[in-house]
Amino acid sequence: MWIKPTLIDYVNSTIETSAKLTSFSRPRRFGKSFAAKMLCAYYDKGCDSKDLFKGLKISEMKSFHEHLNQYDVIYLDITRFISRAKSRGTDVVTDIQSATIEELRRGFPGFVNEDERYLPDALYSIIQGTTNKFIIIIDEWDALFREEKENYDIQEEYVQL
């Protein structure tokens, strides 16, 4: 008998596979942001969320303990970055990178150069110098496309990031 996997169990099944990107899309107001924050609580090693999931179906799954609070999680709310960039008159992608790199510098002192401006390079430096694994959760990932419909350059820069 086939048992329908939970969201967390499904994501767990993609870790350490060639499926490097996992996307969940649902209509507006279907709890995607709530689900993203739940995934953060589950994966982030800065949390102790075992009790949060106690008694839920996921806590009975084989993969539950294997991945619970085992990763460094980067959570990006793209709408927040868009709002911030508009109020400052800055570039959204640059803001995403600089804010995330600054947070990485604080969390991993000595691993990210002061002049580093490209997020993938900063992550690569950390991964090369530690045994840490990252899970990046992007909420409202498509907001930039809605807000910058005519700005193909920023869309391309975002996709490349």
pLDDT in tens, 35-93: 999 999 999 999 999 999 999 989 988 899 999 999 999 999 999 999 998 887 789 99
Q: For residues 36 and 89, what is the distance between their CA atoms, to the nearest angstrom? A: 28
Q: For residues 77 and 36, what is the distance between their CA atoms, to the nearest angstrom? A: 10
Asked whether 146 and 135 are in contact (CB, 8 A), the reply is no
Please, which residues bridge with residue 71 across strands? 44
What tokens does 133 get?
A: 């694994």
Average model confidence (pLDDT) across the chain:
91
- pLDDT value at residue 1: 46
DSSP state of 83: H
Q: For residues 30 and 34, what is the distance between their CA atoms, to the nearest angstrom? A: 9
Mean of pLDDT values over 4-9? 80
Burial category of 65 from C-beta neighbours within 10 Å (exposed 0-12, middle 13-18, buried 19 and up): exposed
